[in-house]
Structure 1
Amino acid sequence: MSPVRLVIFTRYPEPGKAKTRLIPALGAEGAAALHRRLTERTLEAARASGLTVEVRTTGATRAHFAAWLGDDLLLADQGEGDLGERLRRAANPAPALFIGSDLPDLTAGHLVEAAARMRTSPAVLGPAEDGGYWALGLRQPSDYLFADMPWSSDQVFALTLERLRGRGIDPALLPLLADCDRPEDLDRWPDLSGTAA
């Protein structure tokens, strides 16, 4: 098997455009600052994993991202379309392991485990507490996972699992993690948002 590409999706931390669901709790500046911290924390785990890291970007130029995240990373624009279309484009070449940038509890160990499981399973799936997934690893392009998916809903993990099993693929399941997306999530990680008492 070729080396696994770790593909991280993120956006530039521009106030008013990053982590918009957290703006009611943190304000536009605070939500953008939290997004910045989460992305940097994700990149720290990614670099420590030893995997080849590719960052799929949106919201600013490549130069802006290089200045923020470092010029040692492969940076590629996410392009147009919904999340499914952007994931489908990024899935080539396989194998690819996709993660988002909003996982406060993510460690290098999670990523190493996911890549190791991909050596023996055609797919790996990391369930998220909100019904989505925090990781999707594919040894071959699988466009059927990305079309007509109700993204940002609590059905994404179940539907993805159903589609894989419908193709005779029983994915390796990773540990359950939570992402930080909604105001009610902030109490779990008060150090991230500056809401610690």
Structure 2
Amino acid sequence: MAMLPGNARPPGIALFARAPQAGAAKTRLIPALGAAGAARLQRRLTLQALATAQRAELGRITLWATPDTGQRFFRAVQRRCDIDLRSQPAGDLGARMAAAFAAQAGPLLLIGCDCPVLRAADLVMAAQALRHPGPGGNDAVFIPVDDGGYMLVGLCCPQPRLFEDIDWGSERVMAQTRLRLSALGLRWRELPSLWDLDRPEDLVRLATLPGFAAWQR
């Protein structure tokens, strides 16, 4: 278990993941990789994100699956890794994230699978940022990404209004979220930004990472 200052309870980790189905996974990368190649990459990224979450040794990990938990890949991961498995509900990304926080009894870090440079140390730093909720502490923590969004959001308790009326998938996500945080009177911390894998040009950076240069072979 990662050591947090004081007697803070380690936050749980929610991982949002799409099933690695050809034609439905990493669709923006299909022109570069083909449907099967994009699905293989989705599988690899999901397994890496899960391994990173486990190495952080924080709270219980829940994999929020889409389209549903009946996918064979998700069932196999649950058996092998001893994690909780739940289906993402209907609605836009904001509604689905709000539901994940509502389901957690206590602090939670939520991540996706699109950031291959995320480290366990980043998750521990995010957990430390939430250790003093209330006056003088942080209600939220984020790791922004360089396309204007964020790849991690952590909250001490559910804040459903934080995820309403955001232009998901645009370069305005983090900027709009900052305005919403201020309007709600929440205190937050932003950790150093990372990059996520979303466009074909990002594959060049991916190939420079250990273990990914020959991932298609």
Q: What's the TM-score bracket when you normalise by the shorter of the two chains?
A: over 0.9
Number of residue-to-residue matches in the alignment: 196
Matched, 1:61 2:81: no
Give 1:119 shift.
0.6
Match of 1:11 in 2: 18
C-alpha separation in 2, matches of 1:167 and 1:149: 14
Question: Residues 110-168 of structure 1: CA distance to partner in whole angstroms, max 9, x if unpaired?
Answer: 00110111113111011111100011111111111111111111111111111112222
Match of 1:123 in 2: 140
Identical counterparts, % of pairs: 43
Is the CA contact 1:37–1:192 (under 8 Å) kept in the aligned structure 2?
A: no
Match of 1:77 in 2: 87
Matched, 1:182 2:191: no
Is the CA contact 2:15–2:64 (under 8 Å) kept in the aligned structure 1?
A: yes
Give 1:173 shift.
1.0
Dislocated runs of 4+, deviation >4 Å: 193-196
Match of 2:135 in 1: none
Match of 1:134 in 2: 151
Give 1:193 shift.
6.9
Where do 5+ consecutive residues of structure 1 fail to align? none
- Secondary structure in 1 aligned to 2:179? helix
Match of 2:175 in 1: 158
Give the helix-richer structure, 1 or 2.
1
Give 1:2 shift.
4.3
Match of 1:108 in 2: 120
Is the CA contact 1:13–1:32 (under 8 Å) kept in the aligned structure 2?
A: yes
Give 1:59 shift.
2.6
TM-score, normalised to structure 2's length? 0.85
TM-score, normalised to structure 1's length? 0.93
Give 1:63 shift.
6.1
